[in-house]
Structure 1
């Protein structure tokens, strides 16, 4: 209770200070945007879904210097991105806020807020430039958004479309809405070597992202289903090698999958690769099976043929592959029975392993 009161007091005080600051400091309207700062501090999937919007800005303002503020854990997504001149890392802390505020204050002609933390990012955006382009309905401080762009269809649109729509406010557009994640030849070669040293032909590797954060259990496919899928895959295509991938939080689930497998002998790479190493592995693998995770979007970005198992609460129309050849993807979306609404009571456990197997085999033929 006390913590909530303190948060409310701090938020109110900050809002008041920025209202006064905004009244004192009048925004200037540059003839051209020479320096643009983009805020993209969401998760892996959100960050990747922001990259087409940044491409649109680059293609529409070719002479501008574009910099990005990214979550420190996701900043590697922007490595090698040809549309970005520099990346500033951010984490939720007072010291980081003050450090970044000092670094960006009054240095830019335009701030663009794509997917970002609220409320801390919006004051930073306003400190960087009095011209702040964002969706005002996604912040508790809409008075800091001086170039508002709101789309009434926001929640029903694909994540890529949402961000492209925001930057369309300044005339930015692109004919290429694909995600941007650059993997170097060296990284791809190292991924191939890692697989070969494990006795796996990269073309015969099937990456299996064994889960997400786990916060929404109904969007997770059970360990027993993964194990059954791998046994079925072994019976149908024994020359293929499943590679379990995922983060630290998925170690126990990976061990359970290994224990439940009767015939299959997947390799366990869970918590053994960094984000970029995982992306490089997917860039050379034959295919991937995943639920709705950040790594699903990584697979899209690097062109890995993907079977995605989705829950009806976040459907294909919002998170499916956008701008890609549909022949390279299979989307299995849980749908509620006729007469029922989508809810947490419906879990991905009802999607059978044989259905996923058939989808995977159709990609590999």
Structure 2
């Protein structure tokens, strides 16, 4: 288990290092050539086949789905046979399997997925990466006549349509800004309350706890340690909520198993699903609970997309860019002078992580109880 986690993290670091050196050099060279020979026409013509590139983790992929649906609706109305392909990573491809708007999914970090993708002919490519450069190089190599991407660092010069990127914008809005050149979308008016469908979770051994209407999911995982509240804090929270009559389920990947064990030490009745459910299974599980308590993580975004109420803990991450929005969601954030400190996916090392250690169990339990009271009042009779 641990060796697998280390291999995955090392691969991510390796790809970022390659991007920093090779990606930067390739971007600069290609942009210089384009300046000499001039750019191709920006005429759209018929956009029958579109490639969307989405590197990175789960959260970005989830918040991209509404924009993908909008592309699908608009393009296929004009061109009924239009197709949308996705080029993504193994770690986020499960999200796109939840979408009915995708024709084919290619994995650029598995086998020859990238080569197969580049063999296709695309009318347009949308690179949704915010900072790293190699995806912009790939967009250029597709030879698509329309190439859209964020105008950050030297990567912007590889696109026919360079879109400004702001850390002050909600990420769902940023993705809508990207697709505007393709379909002329209406002004962004917020991500839908629900944009992933999910049926009831079926688990014959624990089906009764999901019928009570009083089941809380706890997801202790975080992509970096600076976003982790810790198994002990989540465990005490689970204990308190259990004492108030709630059932507790723990969800996450195999990497979260250690925290799950700690949580069960505090709350022996908790049901541990960590490492046993795929992304496709996680969606119906989250749909079946009353609320999710979590760090700033990919699972938080899935719950938001399903319409499941959330209580999320923010510190290093940018709340206004990434936090779930609406009355069914609560964000606990101490808003310290040093936070948020994450920019373009990079979180600087922090020994104290005061932005999270100052969040108390009492605060989290109180927010959960109050949120569920509010949500029950909002629910139709």
TM-score computed with the length of structure 1 as normaliser: 0.81
Q: State the alpha-carbon separation in 2 of the partners of residues 5 and 76 from structure 1.
A: 25
4+ long deviations beyond 6 Å: 3-7, 21-26
The one of 136, 139, 152 equivalent to 1:125 is 139
1:209 is the counterpart of 2:219: yes
Q: State the alpha-carbon separation in 1 of the partners of residues 148 and 68 from structure 2.
A: 13
Q: Which runs of 5+ in 2 are unaligned?
A: 1-13, 342-349, 374-381
1:98 is the counterpart of 2:118: no
1:66-81 equivalences under 5 Å are: 66-81=84-99
1:274-293 equivalences under 5 Å are: 274-293=278-297
Query: Judging changes above 3 Å, is the alpha-carbon distance between structure 1 residues 258 and 6 closer, same or farther for their aligned structure 2 residues?
Result: closer
1:254 counterpart residue number = 260
User: Is contact 1:58–1:66 with CA below 8 Å preserved after alignment?
Assistant: yes
Q: State the alpha-carbon separation in 1 of the partners of residues 331 and 23 from structure 2.
A: 44
What SS is found at the alignment partner of 1:347?
A: helix
User: Is contact 1:18–1:123 with CA below 8 Å preserved after alignment?
Assistant: no
Query: Judging changes above 3 Å, is the alpha-carbon distance between structure 1 residues 143 and 269 closer, same or farther for their aligned structure 2 residues?
Result: same
Q: State the alpha-carbon separation in 2 of the partners of residues 132 and 236 from structure 1.
A: 54
Deviates more, 1:169-178 or 1:263-272: 169-178
User: Is contact 1:159–1:318 with CA below 8 Å preserved after alignment?
Assistant: yes
1:1-365 equivalences under 5 Å are: 8=21, 12=25, 16=29, 27=40, 29-61=43-75, 62=77, 63=79, 64-91=82-109, 95-101=112-118, 103-104=119-120, 107-115=121-129, 118-128=132-142, 129-137=144-152, 140-151=154-165, 154-170=166-182, 171-173=184-186, 177-178=191-192, 180-183=195-198, 185=199, 188-190=200-202, 193=204, 195-196=206-207, 201=211, 203-213=213-223, 215-217=224-226, 219-237=227-245, 240-259=246-265, 261=266, 264-311=268-315, 313-322=316-325, 326-336=326-336, 340-342=337-339, 344=350, 345=352, 346-365=354-373
Q: CA deviation at 1:83?
A: 2.8
- Per-residue CA distance 1:29-74 (angstroms, 9 max, x = gap): 3423222211112210011111122223223323242222222232
Q: CA deviation at 1:364?
A: 2.9
User: Is contact 2:169–2:321 with CA below 8 Å preserved after alignment?
Assistant: yes
Q: CA deviation at 1:133?
A: 0.6
Aligned Cα RMSD in Å? 3.1
Q: CA deviation at 1:23?
A: 6.9
- Per-residue CA distance 1:159-213 (angstroms, 9 max, x = gap): 1111111222331346662363343x4xx3535x45317x653633211001212
Aligned positions, number: 338
TM-score computed with the length of structure 2 as normaliser: 0.78
Q: State the alpha-carbon separation in 2 of the partners of residues 258 and 92 from structure 1.
A: 36
